[in-house]
Structure 1
Amino acid sequence: MLTIGGAMEATRTTPDPRRWWALAALVASMLVVGFDGTILNVALPTMASQLGADISQQQWIADSYSVALAALMLPAGLLGDRFGRRRMLITGLALFLAGSLFGTLADTPASVIAARTAMGCGAALIMPLCMAVLPTAFEPEERSKAIGILTAASALGMPLGPIIGGWLLDHFWWGSVFLINVPMVGIGITACALLLRESRDPATPRIDTLSTALNCLGLGALIYGIIEAPRDGWTHPAILVALFAAVALLTALVLRERKATRPMLDLQLLRQRGFLWNSVAATLAIFVMMGLLFVLPAYLQAVLGYNSFATGVRLLPMMGGLLIASRVTAPLTNRFGPRPVVAAGLLVMAGAALLGSRTTVSDGYGNTALWLSLTGLGLGVAMIPAMDAALGALPKARAGSGSGLLMTLRQTGGAIGVALLGSLLAASFGSRLDTAGLPGAAAEYARKTVGAAHAIAARTGDQALAASANSAYVHGMDLVLMVCAGAAIVAALLVAVFLPDTRAPEAPVRDMAPEPVDARQ
């Protein structure tokens, strides 16, 4: 039986009774990472006002977390393999805790950006290493359930962010959105220290400094360009330089890693169809989900008129669908195999997006709740078996680096989804908004977002502008949802054609290192 840390103990035949308590520790960790990605959305206007942050500083306060998270995931997984997965997971939690504490004391935009960057670095260790322990903590028949629970925890964090943030801002100062992390992370550190066994791969080579630098700078430039492009335009010189630099740096990384004995970017894993196509399915599912979640908050707030707290509450139907999926996915996968189940989940997501694309200005929340529930159901049915099969295809010694690659693909897919779909939404909204009669500066400001248009309408008493903003935004949202539906259908077709049927197992990736040792710390 494999221990919680990932070593083979031939004398053990019964599961470690602590494995579910250990999973609870990982759930607490993923919850914090999940809601910290969205909690700042409701606090940013208040924070910017009190700190005197300009538009560029506000953008970096929001984006520094995502850039650090995406750029550091690959080396984070390798660090776990080399120095111990439990140790590096606790290190990530401690770094996240330090960033949160620093954020509560920050009094300048630069210090808030530094705190968010530190939290992103911590999250980059937390996310892949939480996943890395699952393939060896649970037997295959339990692993799907464990992945479902952890996936639901990560997804639950997103709607929890605005709910928690809205409540905190109603009762406390803006720094409380950082302070709320402290008890949660403290519980996670304590539980991981007491419940997780340490594991590492003694054959993991030393960290390649040059490859790490190429990875961090290349992915950082890519994510920066993707995030900033909707605001500055894809042809802006800074965006073109960032994207060109990303291509050059990542190409250099791939060429260097192809010659490495134990690479950080383990391209050999991508030759294994099970890992490759399950990773593709998970990445495209995240692309679609992030697109859906990107358009919804502004629709609920600006068009339907809900505040931040109420908006977060109204995102919860997605969790209902996810919870149902976590209960039905394992039996379905056991009976039919992952290929038809993952494809069916993606088709459910496509159907949800198509239903959402029929939204009109006069529709209420009921229609949104329906297709949002279907989105959660489809996401869970697609994501849980895809993640399970991808992680199950990893050699035990490379659980950290492999899960780091998987999570990097997911994070990058989500960022690309937000950027591309955000550009489509912005272009559609700006072209359809009727700003006749507004001064040039006011018209330009109104075209930026539906919230900005409503602010101008409220200031001028222009009800026609507010109506035009609602109509233009709903039209843009419908276009985005149509694209999401198309992406989900393409993903389902790719899965149906290329994903192997693991009921007739293919040969696993050749493990070039011995099984990791189990060492109590």
Structure 2
Amino acid sequence: MSEHAGRDPRRWWVLVVLCLSLMVLVIDTTVLNVAIPSLMTDLGATPSDIQWIINAYVLVYAGLLLTTGNLSDRYGRRRLLVLGLAVFGGASLLATLATQPWHLISARALMGVGGAMLMPSTLSILITTFEDDERRKAMAAWSVVATVGVIGGPTLGGFLIERFSWNSVFLLNVPVAVIAIVAAYALMPERRGPERSLDPLGVLLSTVGLTALVYVVIEAPQQGVNLPVAVIAAVALGGFALWERRTPHPMLPLELFRSRDFTGASFSILLMSFGIGAVMLMLTQYLQFVLGYGATQAGLGLLPYALAATVFNYVGVALGQKVSNRTLVVVGLAVMAVSFAGLAMTGGYWSMFASMLVMGAGGGLAGPAAYTTLMGAVPVERAGAGSALNDTVQQVGMALSIAVLGSVLAGVYTARMPHSAPAAARESIGQAVVLGDPAVLAAARDAFGAAMSLGSWVGVACSLAAAALAMAVLRRTAPAPAPAPAREDSEVTG
């Protein structure tokens, strides 16, 4: 039999469409970091507004992921991908029309709906399109796009903001979404899992529980724990777990957590996401507000991370033929811990440059191996649900990071600012820059440097904890190859 017999000849073009779709999401998530000064000036956004412009997306996105992942398995992964692109692109167009912070917050929430439809489909289609011997290479390409998008967002966003306005960073999503939709229909077959009944109670409980959980996490550092919402989260998620054990057609088969690879990879990704979640937000502010870089310079200043991660993604592919995923995850996370320690002691751009190179190398080794391990433990017919869980874990980690580390950064910054400084300048370094007082700005830069150092040490702790967890829980050897997707999934013509 030919090596390629039974394989979709369009599979590498399908990967291109998936990467293009992923790029839309990732760039949009990070592009806001360089738009913060413009949003404060043009929309009059307060630090609280900025947090909700970022978190409105996270709140809706995380709450819907499990639901949309299951819907993609039932109704078609390409269908959910296209719907997600359409909603995301349309919401991006609405965002360009915002004249008040709440307009932009509402548009970002709608973008979260589109993102929740889109994101699980990208990884589940990848898993069901590529067989085991090609899957690691495809996963590396997917991961490279995610990494490049993280840096490409600030770089491209800075270029657009300096030449046009903050609106342009959202307008960029529209043509890319249109191109991805056309390409999806032209190149991608429809795939879905076996026919199964919907789980409406599971949908309700998971959506309410995850949304309430992320809300509590976001609000707790500033407002304290909202006890009624925390109770709702606990009751809904507890009820979801009990229901999923009893229903014949669960959204999330809880027996997956009996797999050491699935559980170990999930919690390693959670800790890794927590450690790195606020880093790009922190570094873009450091470059702009402390080092005085323009928006484009700040974006370009983050390129070392993307370049190193791109190279080491493919180094990881080569090493993955000889060493286990566990080894790659543990080594990569340990390398990331070293990079965070370097950031904690950074004294300017070039020391930050070196730390970003090291961080990119560690992330390039650990990330794809962790995602491959998690998805390798998921039955192919539940690829949408498995991908959604992977995304949910990352988003909860990111939300925790932005909320907790964001609060720590703000608290340290305020504590280190002189009491004689204006109240607005003591609240955020962005406000200190707007005020323009040289003495206040110098104090703000010192205070932000101290806050960033503490945040980086938290990143060290999270990376080491994730490495220890991976070492203890993940299996020493790679799992056996998954069954060929064609035996599990149905493919729909057109």
Compute the TM-score of the two structures, normalised by the length of structure 2.
0.93
**How far 1:95 sits from its partner (Å)?**
1.2
**How far 1:386 sits from its partner (Å)?**
1.1
Residues 1:516 and 2:489 are matched in the alignment: yes
Aligned counterpart, 1:328: 315
Counterpart pick for 1:445 among 424, 446, 470: 424
Aligned counterpart, 1:147: 139
Instruction: State the distance in 1 between where 2:456 and 2:403 align.
Output: 14
Instruction: Note closer, same or farther for the CA distance 1:45–1:176 as it changes in structure 2 (3 Å cut).
Output: same
**How far 1:128 sits from its partner (Å)?**
1.2
**How far 1:59 sits from its partner (Å)?**
4.1
Aligned counterpart, 1:165: 157
User: 8 Å contact 1:289–1:379 — kept in the other structure?
Assistant: no
Instruction: State the distance in 2 between where 1:58 and 1:487 align.
Output: 26
- AA aligned opposite 2:274: F
Aligned counterpart, 1:479: 454
Aligned counterpart, 2:354: 370
Q: Secondary structure at the match of 1:202?
A: coil
Counterpart pick for 1:78 among 70, 73, 77: 70
Instruction: State the distance in 2 between where 1:308 and 1:380 align.
Output: 26
Aligned counterpart, 1:249: 236
Residues 1:184 and 2:176 are matched in the alignment: yes
Instruction: State the distance in 2 between where 1:428 and 1:151 align.
Output: 34
Aligned counterpart, 1:351: 338
- AA aligned opposite 1:257: E
Instruction: Note closer, same or farther for the CA distance 1:471–1:137 as it changes in structure 2 (3 Å cut).
Output: same
**How far 1:53 sits from its partner (Å)?**
5.7
Residues 1:285 and 2:268 are matched in the alignment: no
**How far 1:33 sits from its partner (Å)?**
0.2
Instruction: Note closer, same or farther for the CA distance 1:273–1:178 as it changes in structure 2 (3 Å cut).
Output: same
Aligned counterpart, 1:394: 378
Q: Tell me how large the CA RMSD over aligned residues is.
A: 2.5
Aligned counterpart, 1:224: 215
Q: Secondary structure at the match of 2:246?
A: coil
Instruction: State the distance in 1 between where 2:273 and 2:44 align.
Output: 34
* Deviations 1:316-350, CA, capped at 9 Å, x for gaps: 11101111112110221221111111100000001
Counterpart pick for 1:497 among 459, 472, 476: 472
**How far 1:171 sits from its partner (Å)?**
2.7
Q: Secondary structure at the match of 1:501?
A: coil
Instruction: State the distance in 1 between where 2:479 and 2:72 align.
Output: 31
Counterpart pick for 1:209 among 176, 200, 204: 200
User: 8 Å contact 1:269–1:402 — kept in the other structure?
Assistant: no
Instruction: State the distance in 2 between where 1:107 and 1:423 align.
Output: 27
Aligned counterpart, 1:126: 118
* Deviations 1:148-173, CA, capped at 9 Å, x for gaps: 11112122222222222222223334
Structure 2, unmatched stretches of 5+, are none
Aligned counterpart, 2:250: 263
- AA aligned opposite 2:219: E
Instruction: Note closer, same or farther for the CA distance 1:407–1:518 as it changes in structure 2 (3 Å cut).
Output: same
Instruction: State the distance in 2 between where 1:290 and 1:119 align.
Output: 19
Counterpart pick for 1:413 among 386, 397, 408: 397
Aligned counterpart, 2:408: 424
Counterpart pick for 1:63 among 49, 55, 70: 55
Instruction: Note closer, same or farther for the CA distance 1:469–1:61 as it changes in structure 2 (3 Å cut).
Output: closer
* Deviations 1:203-245, CA, capped at 9 Å, x for gaps: 3222x33322222222222222322334x2435xxx3443333
Deviates more, 1:390-399 or 1:48-57: 48-57
Residues paired across the two proteins, number: 492
**How far 1:12 sits from its partner (Å)?**
6.9
Deviates more, 1:286-295 or 1:311-320: 286-295
Aligned counterpart, 1:7: none
Instruction: State the distance in 1 between where 2:98 and 2:424 align.
Output: 30
User: 8 Å contact 2:274–2:400 — kept in the other structure?
Assistant: yes
**How far 1:106 sits from its partner (Å)?**
4.2
- AA aligned opposite 1:29: S
**How far 1:265 sits from its partner (Å)?**
2.9
Instruction: State the distance in 1 between where 2:408 and 2:48 align.
Output: 22
* Deviations 1:489-512, CA, capped at 9 Å, x for gaps: 111111112101234649x89x9x
Aligned counterpart, 1:296: 283
Q: Secondary structure at the match of 1:447?
A: helix
Q: Secondary structure at the match of 1:258?
A: helix
Instruction: Note closer, same or farther for the CA distance 1:329–1:252 as it changes in structure 2 (3 Å cut).
Output: same
**How far 1:28 sits from its partner (Å)?**
0.8
Instruction: State the distance in 2 between where 1:62 and 1:484 align.
Output: 21
Compute the TM-score of the two structures, normalised by the length of structure 1.
0.88
Instruction: State the distance in 1 between where 2:372 and 2:47 align.
Output: 41
- AA aligned opposite 2:173: N
- AA aligned opposite 2:331: A
Deviates more, 1:155-164 or 1:319-328: 155-164
Q: Secondary structure at the match of 1:336?
A: coil
